[in-house]
A and B are shown apart, each in its own frame.
Chain A
Amino acid sequence: MLFCTIGILFLQPRMVIFPHKTNLFVNMAFLRNTLKIFLTGIIVFLSFCFSNSASAQDGKALFSANCASCHAIDKKLTGPALMGVEDRWPNKANLHAWIRNNQAFLKTGDKYANDLYNEYNKTAMNLFPNLTDAEIDAILKYIKDWKPAAAAVQPGANGATADDKDSSLLFGILTLVLAVVAFTLMQVNSNLKKLSDDKEGVPAPEPVPFWKNKAYIAFVTVILFLVGGYYTTKGAIGLGRNKNYQPEQPIYYSHKVHAGINQINCQYCHIGVYQGKQATIPSVNVCMNCHMAINEYKGEKIYTEEGNEVNGTAEIQKLYKKAHYTPGQPWDATQAEPIEWVRIHNLPDHVYFNHAQHVNAGKVQCQTCHGEITKMDEVKQFTDLSMGWCINCHRETKVQFKENGFYSIYEKYHEDLKNGKIDSTKGITVEKIGGTECQKCHY
């Protein structure tokens, strides 16, 4: 049974072949039982799979894909903080309508909506006509269930994680106590049995101390194997994944100051992002375009992750040192040295990732993968960059099917969309045009 399931695990892409095989074998009575067990195995396995990937995760993914670039749950960004959004809105239908097409909803003259619009300086919210009710509900559920992860927001304070540890410690102690109780009771039981046997004159075998008792040893071994196996597997899956990696950079460069407060377009520095594979890190001469003039930092105070205050002007001086520039004198760009930044986002060599494909052709927001870069002083890796994370996004994200002329060659899909064979709210996802096939990223 276990092996069947494992087999299915490996052969998942080819599952279509099994119905044929079952047809061929169905007359062979002696195989029927095996087959039943086998198919039950598949069903059990699949139900297991599906029950695992519940909607909570979808809600989170949908939130980060669609909302996170403008909204946070606990604070104002471009848009309002979303915590308690369901309670604020008079009814759910209005909220759904607003999320899908806020411009159309504004025209209904709804007071709450118009007030909100004016409060945020008439900044138009993006339209999400393709989100289904279920998806919006999943997002709202995610928002409702969301608990602030204190560590990520306030450097230094880690009360929330302590909570987590506490409860697991509690469970651990409880388990241990119960185990001791169970062990004592079993010993008591065996002693009592021995006593009663003695009394009745039943010849008893030589007592075996519990540490030599094979049943105990086997039990402990199995427990150790399961626990050890669980942590080994978990560790192995996490190998090479560096979510939240936030190295110290040679120059304290704040994306929050540049892209957030001063609203410099991402492309101004990351010029490759629209053209090719690499987004590219700006060269010294790009930095100097602005910093020839801007030679001191006058903004609000900035802090390192550890909470130490950073002297922005001194950091600019570090740039000048690399550029071999003395303020007030003409700058000879040929003298500049490159800055050795620490690379944060690393993909394995066998993965092909192209920024232009995602940002230019796919119109994916930078924040979808890099998080709220406009809020980060020091950049950290926002996602785990795992294959599961890539695939999940490819399954859920729609391509620019109608907007991009390239997709006009998918005539059948256009036809199916028109006559409703394909759910137009779901649309054409990346997966639908082969975006989860191996050689889209591995070649």
Chain B
Amino acid sequence: MSDKKYWQSFGELNNSEAYQQSVKDEFKEELPFENEGLLSASTPRRDFLKYLGFSTAAATIAASCEVPVKKAIPFANKPEDIVPGISNYYATTYVNGGEAVSVVAKVRDGRPIKIEGNDLSNITGGGTSARVQASVLDLYDTARLRFPTIGVGEDAKEVTFEAFDKEIAVALGSNPVTILTSSIVSPSTKEIINQFIAKHPGSKHVVYDAVSYSGILLANEATYGKKAIPSYKFDNAKVIVSLGADFLGTWISPIEFSKQYAKGKKINEKNPSMSKHIHFESVASLTGSNADERFLHKPSETGSVAVALLNAINGQAVSIADAKLKAGIEKAAKALTSAKGEALVVSGSNDVNIQIVVNAINEALQSNGKTIDWSATYTYQGVDADFAKLVEEMNAGNVPALFVYGTNPAYSWFAADKFIAGLKKVKVAVSFNGKNDETTQLCKYVIPSHHYLESWGDAEIKTGHYSFLQPTIAPLFKTRQWQDSLLLWNGSTTDYVTYLKTYWSAKVGGENGWDKVLQEGIIAPASTNTVSANFSSSAVANAVSAATSGKKAGKYELVLYQKVTVGATDGASNPWLQELPDPVTKATWDNYLIVSPALAKTLLNIDLTNNGQADAYEVQPPKKVVKVTVNGKTISLPALIIPGTQADTVGIALGYGRSEKIGKAAAGTGQNAFVFTSLNGNTVNYSVADVQLELTNETYKVALTQTHNGYDTAQGNRTEVMKELTLAHFKEDPKEILEDREKELAPFGGLAKFEKDGTIYPVFDRPGIKWGMSVDLNTCTGCSACVVACHAENNVPVVGKPEVLRFHDMHWLRIDRYYSGDMDNPNVVFQPLMCQHCDNAPCENVCPVAATNHSSEGLNQMTYNRCIGTRYCANNCPYKVRRFNWADYTGADSFPDNQKDVLNDVVLMMNDDLTRMVLNPDVTVRSRGVIEKCSFCVQRLQEGKLKAKKESRPLETGNEGKWDLKTACQQACPTNAIVFGNANDSHSAISITRQENKLRSFYSLEQLHVLPNVTYLAKVRNIEEEHAGAEKKEEKEHA
């Protein structure tokens, strides 16, 4: 294990010259020294004296000025439940198309500033995702539509709601209306739509989702007679096989699945066992990176792989040419059949036939009713064929009126031109979308609906699982909830709030019941028993032959995928999401063409085993641009080489190539890949079997972050940061990590005496509290919800692409991606790395002004107002977690010119008065020239302590499930991989976690005697076969 090579970059793998150079320096740029001698320099001594004199004089004048008079303006009428400076929490629901997540909004002085998961939800259990965390920023987006307009493009004129209603009434007349929406999760809204349709004869409701689950819906209709998506129980499955379903990142309900998945990955040290996850895919995904074993295939082979798996489970021979893939299928079949009733197979394909085959596999594995639960089904309803039909009707001129809400086909429909042409023939096109997106731009009538944080509503996340929305802020702009508009135009006199209340009051027991559900935010079904559905195998035979036959594949194939960060809808307009590095590629602010190392050699002429070429590729931000052509449609994208991608397959993320109209962050980032989708029968196909690739002479800069924080010196290097082992290994030799640590520290007193004997410094007392954190690498999926949560909680600035390119990214918490083994299909480990709050911190010793020092509670404190910006601390930090404010990212300085020409529009937008409303008032906004870093959310720690003091009782950090405080990352984590608390308290969650996981615990770079306060629990991979002589077999493990 100890000699296993971990690498973050190709340079690190090859130990290339450029890599060696890069790890020597903390700051990659040359300092602007002038070597021509002091007097001939462009700022010689005289200038220096001039500036000195000027600044002294300026300071003197400034000092003699009058003290500015500040006003303190209280409420005129203080609302009873708002006390300035105290946060209120309101349960509400994040809704984005068919995805709904129960959340709690933290509202401070009337502004929502942070989204947390709703702990009461038995779907997410308080977990969140990066997109849910970032959604609060969308509320303050400067690109939101601010009033209703009538007219297209330049002619659009602001009108009042009354004028709008009048004109709509005239325009609609008695025409039938087509209501086009994304999947509607709200039962009350469905009822309103039905009432509207009933009153307007000939009207209908069409559901269109940008990324649809039509394949599963239609397959389930064929085999189970239900056009619905059942609940999956990953926690009941001992063996999970995924055929390209990114269920931890983007597939159906990733937060819920992550939570379930983590249950199977939690290790009890006394009796180690865990679920096994085998993944088949074409382009490296988040879920694939987490798999115990991963096998690669071409997208056109997906059907064959599914059928082969079905055959293997049924005991028939596997007819796959690729030997590795064949072995993989056989292995998966063996593992699945040995765990019948506790196995689950899922597929991310949108092909009906493949999904039917997958249903047949699950039926053969007796998953129905065990790992697949039909008691509750998801609310995704969009079937692509229905929408295709609507587009035809529109073009035929048969749609007089169209209402669009929550969907944007002009951007995401495969034949957007056709939709746009059709839309032009619609006489009355009304858009309720909140932004001026591609579809809204073409609609004559635009009446924007509220952001979800301003809305009333309900959501049926799954059958029987209800979640409620309530406004957390008064509408910022002249917007009106679209349900209100529908009710009004339908002649109703009640508004939506009243309607909603009436709708629910009867069901939940009147006024009090309604108040209670609003307060808690959810209604959960009484029974949680899993239910099976009747399976009909009649469709299977046809599906098997259809899935395997007639796939004409070209030389290269293409997969269109969703990024965990930006997603396929409006995520691109959110600066937090854009700046969040994709967990797999570590790229920000763009989409790109993912190619395999093998393809890089032939297509890009980059041989990664060649030092020079690998360095040239990796060290320089400009990447070679490849022209991608499918059926005559071409886009050009920079190519990124991502190991773990099938040799002849390339991947492009959806959701990019938007205009500035949906947000400054979206402008100029990436290309729209929806143009490459196609309609395959009833469903949209998100892969392309034949794609032409052509290398161009152009290059394009991609802002990558994975090589920013290299570290390799005599004192330690990357291989010592990470520890990982196989389950078999762990069972055989559970004490290995402990013994390794003991052995390494033996010269310095061994584990027990290391703190005292390893140093000449004294050991300090920690009376009362000692903060500690534990991160379980086995349950961390790399989903990055914590990174965005940290952004929101700690006012971490967005720096924009040009600054990320200059290695100036500011994330306090980053997720490091480590590869090990075979470059074509490596193992991946994600490690969240934040300030380790070392008890013997190297940064503290070098600060000339003591701006960073240690607290008696074990915090490595950073005092911004004392920092003079020498950056010695960042240079001396072995974890590279300290961040320097190179520019005035936050607009905190008094001189606005500090931002000119340095920062791009996105950063300036983040400093807009509107966007700044998202800032957390408890955390200082840092100005230019100071270092910042993770503080363990000290503002929350102080608040938690105060809470306990006010109640005159000891602090509780997970004592019997009671929490006075949680760090933002811990609270956001869907898998509870992060545990935090008072390590001096033997009953706290952190103490218990450390006690129960002694064998897997390790400190990153422990031998340096920096004494971190963050423990990591080693990643364990469930690979049973490799038990004997595991040490030697490491290299072969990845076959």
Q: Which residues in A have some Cβ–Cβ distance to B below 8 Å? A: 10-14, 16-17, 20, 232, 235-236, 239-240, 242, 245, 247, 271-272, 275-278, 280-286, 333-334, 336-343, 346, 348-350, 352, 354, 356-357, 360-361, 403-410, 412-413, 433-434, 437-440, 442-443
- Do B935 and A439 touch (CB < 8 A)? yes
In the assembled complex, which residues on chain B have CB atoms less than 8 Å from the CB atom of A438?
853, 855, 861, 863, 866
| Shortest CB distance A242–B (Å) | 6
In the assembled complex, which residues on chain B have CB atoms less than 8 Å from the CB atom of A434?
768, 855-857
- A277 touches which of B70, B85, B949, B951 (Cβ 8 Å): B85
In the assembled complex, which residues on chain A have CB atoms less than 8 Å from the CB atom of B86?
272, 275-277
Taking CB as reference atom, which chain A residue is nearest B939? A443
Q: A280-B74, A439-B863, A440-B942 are in contact. Are A433 and B767 (CB under 8 A)?
A: yes
| Shortest CB distance B374–A (Å) | 49
Question: 8 closest A-B pairs (Cβ-Cβ)?
Answer: A277-B85, A361-B949, A343-B72, A283-B75, A439-B861, A283-B78, A336-B76, A434-B856
In the assembled complex, which residues on chain B have CB atoms less than 8 Å from the CB atom of A283?
74-78
- Do B78 and A286 touch (CB < 8 A)? yes
Q: A10-B849, A272-B85, A434-B856 are in contact. Are A354 and B946 (CB under 8 A)?
A: yes
Can you list 22 pairs linking A and B with CB atoms under 8 Å apart? A13-B850, A14-B844, A235-B63, A239-B63, A271-B83, A277-B85, A278-B84, A278-B85, A282-B78, A283-B78, A333-B76, A333-B77, A336-B77, A342-B69, A342-B70, A405-B951, A406-B953, A407-B768, A434-B856, A437-B855, A439-B935, A442-B866
- B761 touches which of A20, A285, A406, A433 (Cβ 8 Å): A20
In the assembled complex, which residues on chain A have CB atoms less than 8 Å from the CB atom of B71?
340-343
- Do A443 and B74 touch (CB < 8 A)? no
In the assembled complex, which residues on chain A have CB atoms less than 8 Å from the CB atom of B85?
272, 276-278, 280
In the assembled complex, which residues on chain A have CB atoms less than 8 Å from the CB atom of B857?
434
In the assembled complex, which residues on chain A have CB atoms less than 8 Å from the CB atom of B528?
none
- B856 touches which of A11, A245, A356, A433 (Cβ 8 Å): A433
Most buried by A among B73, B767, B864, B939: B767
Complex Cα–Cα for A361 and B949 (A) = 6
Complex Cα–Cα for A233 and B922 (A) = 32
- Do B924 and A350 touch (CB < 8 A)? yes
Chain B: interface size category? 35 or more
Taking CB as reference atom, which chain B residue is nearest A272? B83
Taking CB as reference atom, which chain A residue is nearest B923? A443
Most buried by A among B77, B945, B952: B77
B931-958, CB under 8 A of A: which get 1 and which 0? 0000100110010011011111111000
| Shortest CB distance B405–A (Å) | 34
| Shortest CB distance A134–B (Å) | 26
- Do B77 and A409 touch (CB < 8 A)? no
Complex Cα–Cα for A361 and B63 (A) = 37
Whether B848 is near chain A, meaning CB under 8 Å from some CB there, is: yes
- Do A338 and B768 touch (CB < 8 A)? no
Number of A-B contacts (CB under 8 A): 179
B666-684, CB under 8 A of A: which get 1 and which 0? 0000000000000000000
Taking CB as reference atom, which chain A residue is nearest B847? A14
| Shortest CB distance A15–B (Å) | 11
- B924 touches which of A280, A349, A406 (Cβ 8 Å): A349
In the assembled complex, which residues on chain B have CB atoms less than 8 Å from the CB atom of A440?
855, 942
- Do B767 and A410 touch (CB < 8 A)? yes
- Do B850 and A11 touch (CB < 8 A)? yes
In the assembled complex, which residues on chain B have CB atoms less than 8 Å from the CB atom of A239?
63
Taking CB as reference atom, which chain B residue is nearest A414? B767
| Shortest CB distance A241–B (Å) | 9
- Do A412 and B850 touch (CB < 8 A)? no
- A334 touches which of B77, B769, B866, B935 (Cβ 8 Å): B77
Whether B458 is near chain A, meaning CB under 8 Å from some CB there, is: no
Q: A236-B63, A357-B946, A438-B866 are in contact. Are A409 and B69 (CB under 8 A)?
A: no
Q: A277-B86, A283-B75, A338-B75 are in contact. Are A350 and B865 (CB under 8 A)?
A: yes
- B949 touches which of A11, A280, A285, A357 (Cβ 8 Å): A357
| Shortest CB distance A114–B (Å) | 36
Q: A284-B77, A406-B948, A412-B767 are in contact. Are A352 and B761 (CB under 8 A)?
A: no
- Do B950 and A439 touch (CB < 8 A)? no
- Do B74 and A281 touch (CB < 8 A)? yes
| Shortest CB distance B73–A (Å) | 5
Whether B67 is near chain A, meaning CB under 8 Å from some CB there, is: yes
Q: A14-B850, A342-B71, A343-B72 are in contact. Are A439 and B78 (CB under 8 A)?
A: no
Complex Cα–Cα for A12 and B853 (A) = 12
Complex interface residues of chain B between 141 and 175 (CB less than 8 A to chain A): none
Complex Cα–Cα for A339 and B71 (A) = 10
| Shortest CB distance B327–A (Å) | 55
Whether B859 is near chain A, meaning CB under 8 Å from some CB there, is: yes
Complex Cα–Cα for A333 and B60 (A) = 48
In the assembled complex, which residues on chain B have CB atoms less than 8 Å from the CB atom of A278?
83-85
Q: A16-B762, A406-B952, A442-B863 are in contact. Are A337 and B74 (CB under 8 A)?
A: no
In the assembled complex, which residues on chain A have CB atoms less than 8 Å from the CB atom of B951?
405
Whether B8 is near chain A, meaning CB under 8 Å from some CB there, is: no
In the assembled complex, which residues on chain B have CB atoms less than 8 Å from the CB atom of A408?
954
Complex Cα–Cα for A245 and B70 (A) = 12
Complex Cα–Cα for A213 and B625 (A) = 76
Whether B984 is near chain A, meaning CB under 8 Å from some CB there, is: yes
- Do A247 and B935 touch (CB < 8 A)? no
- Do B850 and A341 touch (CB < 8 A)? no
In the assembled complex, which residues on chain B have CB atoms less than 8 Å from the CB atom of A282?
74, 78
Most buried by B among A12, A342, A406, A443: A443
Whether B760 is near chain A, meaning CB under 8 Å from some CB there, is: yes
In the assembled complex, which residues on chain B have CB atoms less than 8 Å from the CB atom of A245?
67
Taking CB as reference atom, which chain B residue is nearest A232? B60
| Shortest CB distance A117–B (Å) | 32
Complex interface residues of chain B between 366 and 408 (CB less than 8 A to chain A): none
Complex Cα–Cα for A272 and B85 (A) = 8
Taking CB as reference atom, which chain A residue is nearest B87? A276
Taking CB as reference atom, which chain A residue is nearest B79? A283
- Do B984 and A409 touch (CB < 8 A)? yes
Whether B293 is near chain A, meaning CB under 8 Å from some CB there, is: no
- Do A360 and B856 touch (CB < 8 A)? no
- A443 touches which of B76, B78, B938 (Cβ 8 Å): B938
In the assembled complex, which residues on chain A have CB atoms less than 8 Å from the CB atom of B74?
280-284, 338-339, 341
Whether B765 is near chain A, meaning CB under 8 Å from some CB there, is: yes
